[in-house]
């Protein structure tokens, strides 16, 4: 019997099995990171749409529904003209705008004109006159919603 105890038969020692390696990937941290990135992009996306800082006039008009990114012409306080975010000479405006609209689907595309409230009225009208003379018929002025009314 002493031999049996020495061999470990009745000693109470049990062989412990090794735990198997877990092969599942924990996706919770990845989902957390993705949700944080989604929130960051949702907050920052509207801030990236307008590149030329302007102090727009305020009106009570309602906004237009737009399904794709509009063509925007901006006039700042110094009278500089921008097509989207790139500065452009007034003389080159019509040629470049025609090239862009032809690539995007023709002259029927809506063009938004943004003018700073302190810019000379004649400068904005000169830009709009060139657009009208070039055959662009869907031109809209951009304003901010009036506060306090």
Which tens digit of pLDDT belongs to each residue from 52-99? Answer: 666 666 666 666 565 567 788 888 888 888 888 888 888 888 888 888
Check residue 34 and give its pLDDT.
93
What is the assigned CATH class of domain 54-60+69-145? alpha beta
Q: Which long-range contacts (CB under 8 A, 24 or more apart) does 58-65 make?
A: 58/143, 58/144, 58/145, 58/146, 58/147, 59/143, 59/144, 59/145, 59/146, 60/145, 60/146, 60/149, 61/143, 63/145, 64/110, 64/140
Do the beta carbons of residue 81 and residue 88 sit within 8 Å? yes
């Amino acid at each position: 019997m002493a031999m049996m105890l020495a061999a470990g038969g009745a000693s109470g020692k049990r062989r412990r099995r090794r735990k198997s390696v877990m092969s599942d990937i924990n996706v919770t941290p990845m989902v957390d990171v993705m949700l944080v990135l989604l929130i960051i992009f949702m907050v920052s996306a509207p801030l990236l749409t307008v590149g030329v800082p302007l102090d727009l006039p305020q009106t009570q008009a309602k906004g237009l529904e737009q399904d794709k990114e509009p063509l925007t012409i901006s006039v700042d306080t110094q009278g500089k003209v921008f097509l989207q975010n790139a500065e452009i000479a007034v003389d080159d405006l019509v040629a470049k705008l025609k090239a862009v609209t032809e690539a995007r689907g023709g002259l029927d595309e809506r063009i938004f004109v943004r003018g700073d409230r302190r810019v000379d009225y004649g400068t904005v009208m000169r830009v709009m006159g060139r657009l009208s003379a070039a055959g662009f018929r869907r031109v809209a002025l951009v304003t901010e919603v009036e506060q306090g009314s």
